[in-house]
Amino acid sequence: MNEQTAEPNKAPEPLKVQPPARPPRVPVFNLPPALFFSLCLLAVIYVVQAFLLPDDAVEWLLFTFGFVPARYVIPLSQQGPELFWTPITYSLLHGSVEHIAFNALWLMAFGAPVVRRIGTLRFVLFWIFSSVASAALHTALNWGDISLLIGASGVISGLMGAACRFAFPAERRPMLPAHLNARLSIFEALKSRTVVIFMLFWLFGNALIAVGIPLVGDGSQEIAWDAHIGGFVFGFFLFSLFDRVPPRPSVEPAEAEKDVLQS
């Protein structure tokens, strides 16, 4: 006798169709955590400075944490210890919403590939040393000046210089995320047409700033173009001190006819 698993007169139940799997959500801002935290820190500091502190406290904040070249011509016995930390802390302060918004956009564009490549700790160290390098050149060209320097533009310029060493491939190759590209030597970077064109545009923009033509805003506030150059030179020539060998991705060759900066 054969066993049956269903009643003779009962029709088989139709197969249940599984709904298609939902594609993974792509975040609007796909930023490394270290970079996201940096942007949040800059924003919080500015909100407190601009909207919560009274005028006297804002003046104290800028004087205590902003960078002033004149501090290095005054004997230490006649001033406070601010000269030791202000070459770094000035990069966390901004003077207006326009100032911090403009810097945040550039920080996202060039900070993301650098952070993904060198990691959080090296990024923090890079921020510190590029900030100091920017302040150092500004001091050398404005020795004894009493003007106040604030803003992350010098650090961002350092990130731009660092990106020139890996984010623009020297030759046509399969399209990869920028942070996985091989690091170019200084000579190879200077041979890359893409890098040279980018550097020329960057220098032209800073030349306009130097002669009083702002790229953004009404130009009522002076811009420390020399600090930008100090950061860029540091990032371009010394990036190898912070770099690490990126992992070799297992990807199939793809058509890529142009150098691509991805972030």
Residue 140 and residue 133: Cα distance in Å, rounded?
A: 11
Q: Report how far residue 11's alpha carbon sits from residue 21's, in angstroms, rounded to the nearest whole number.
A: 30
> What's residue 15's pLDDT?
57
- Phi, psi dihedrals of residue 140, rounded to the nearest 5°: -60, -35
Residue 121: other Cβ atoms inside 10 A: 10
How high is the pLDDT of residue 219?
55
| The dihedral sign for the CA sequence 209, 147, 137, 35 | negative
Cα–Cα nearest to 231, from 128, 145, 141, 150: 128
Q: How far apart are CA 135 and CA 248, in angstroms?
A: 37
- Distance, CA of 134 to CA of 234 (rounded, Å): 8
Cα separation, 121 vs 109, whole angstroms: 19
Q: What is the pLDDT of residue 22?
A: 63
The span from the CA of 131 to the CA of 127, in Å, is 6
pLDDT at 114: 97
CA contacts within 13 A on the Cβ side of 97: 3
Q: Which residues of the chain register pLDDT less than 70? A: 1-29, 170-175, 214-221, 245-263
Nearest to 162 by CA among 197, 204, 117, 119: 117
CA-CA distance, 114 to 160, in Å (whole number)?
A: 9
What's the rounded Cα separation, in Å, for the pair 16 and 19?
Answer: 9
CB-facing half-sphere around the CA of 57: CA atoms within 13 A: 8
Sign for the pseudo-dihedral over CA of 93, 95, 98, 99: negative
**Residue linked to tokens 């942070």:** 179
> What span, in angstroms and rounded, lies between the C-alpha atoms of 176 and 67?
40
What integer pLDDT is reported at residue 24 of this predicted model? 53
